[in-house]
Amino acid sequence: MSRKDYPVTPEDEKLQAESAAETAEPAAAAPADENGQPSTYMPERSIEEQAEEKNLRPTSFDDFIGQAQVVDNLRLAVQAALERGEVLDHILLSGMPGLGKTSIAMLLGGEMSAGNTHVLSGPTLERGKDIVGTLTQLQRGDLLFIDEVHRMSAHTEEFLYSAMEDFRVDLIIDSGADSRSIPVDLKPFTLVGATTREGLLTAPLRSRFQIVEKLETYPPEELARIVQRSAGLLECDIEEEAGYALASRCRGTPRFANRFLRRIRDVAQSRGEWKIGETIRIDSSAVLEGLERLGIDENGLDRVDRKILRTLFDNGGDAVGLKTLAATVGEEQRTIEEVYEPHLIREGLINRTSRGRCATRKAAELYGDHTGQASFV
């Protein structure tokens, strides 16, 4: 069954049209702050950073900190599926980047010990054959994790409909008048999709996920616990007050907390006569120096956040469109939408309107002067 057989609401069409229009332009130049230095929040992570993140990930749900309701719901679903001897229902995880969607997917694969975990990325799935090969190789109980599932091509997505619903995929043989469809049975499997833009999922695809969970940002108390756990794995000893100071400036996101912690570790290591094998001790002064070096201010905003606000101030209070904002700041439009904008909106610093983005009164009080112009240093 193709996606045209399903009704699409006007809201779905609007979201998809906005996404297509906003991503049509070429990507902006390499992200940089107002001084030409690299941005603190880089959505594309290096291989080394991804490896470090993997080492800091929890190894079981017992080790997972935060997202209590989500974790409890998923553990219940896993337990019930195991008791019935069935594969786990398909799961959709949504939320901002860095909240733990991939970590949860990996934990689910470990809990459902009957199979293996296979990882794919939505943007790379452009043609049907990009996913059919993986689907036909899955064994009973395997978990297929697709990150950024909303960025799959429409053609690839249609192969998932019957695969998720009936554990079957229809292969098209030949072309033109000689083309024919051959159904191929698949072993029962679990699809876990992760998305930062749930609204961009088509109705047919979203309806096939039986379990839908949304991850929220973390309060400082939970992030402080994550910082303490990560510090131990990095052979650091961070003071409780210092850990909370770091946690309060991390946008409610574990990925940023761990990223900042590594740089603060460098600061602490450079201060004393540290020797290989010794524990690096981190106090509040090391945290403050590290955050200052990263350009993180007392409100948790970095240089690019402040550059976004300055651009809005400099426009004299008028709304600024996403394309203009991205070009001025030097970030990709998707990065503005998925990384910076949610935090600025959540903190009440910008509003998103039909005409574009506007700075709020709170932003003016914190970062503007009496003339309405930005007062950034």
The residues annotated with a catalytic role in the active site are 101-102, 147, 196, 255
In angstroms, the CA 179 to CA 171 distance is: 10
Indicate the DSSP class of residue 59.
S
Question: Helix (H, G, I), strand (E, B), or coil: what is residue 7?
Answer: coil
Q: Residue 11: which residues within 8 A CB-CB, separation 6 or more?
A: 199
CA torsion, ordered 243, 246, 252, 254, to nearest 10 deg:
-70
* Residue 320: burial class (beta carbons within 10 Å; 0-12, 13-18, 19+): buried
* Amino acid of residue 39: S
Query: Are 236 and 283 spatial neighbours (Cβ–Cβ below 8 Å)?
Result: no
Query: How many Cβ atoms are within 10 Å of 217's Cβ, its own excluded?
Result: 19
Query: How many Cβ atoms are within 10 Å of 173's Cβ, its own excluded?
Result: 9
* Residue 236: burial class (beta carbons within 10 Å; 0-12, 13-18, 19+): buried
Sign of CA dihedral 144, 146, 152, 158: positive
From 123, 199, 106, select the one nearest 157 (Cα to Cα). Answer: 123
In angstroms, the CA 44 to CA 63 distance is: 26
- Six token digits for residue 298: 């007392």
Query: Are 350 and 341 spatial neighbours (Cβ–Cβ below 8 Å)?
Result: yes
The H or E element that residue 350 is part of is strand 350-353
Q: Which residues of 244-280 are buried (b: 16+ CB within 10 A; e: fewer)?
A: bbbbbbbbbbbbbbbbbbeebbebbeeeeeeeeeeeb
Question: Helix (H, G, I), strand (E, B), or coil: what is residue 76?
Answer: helix
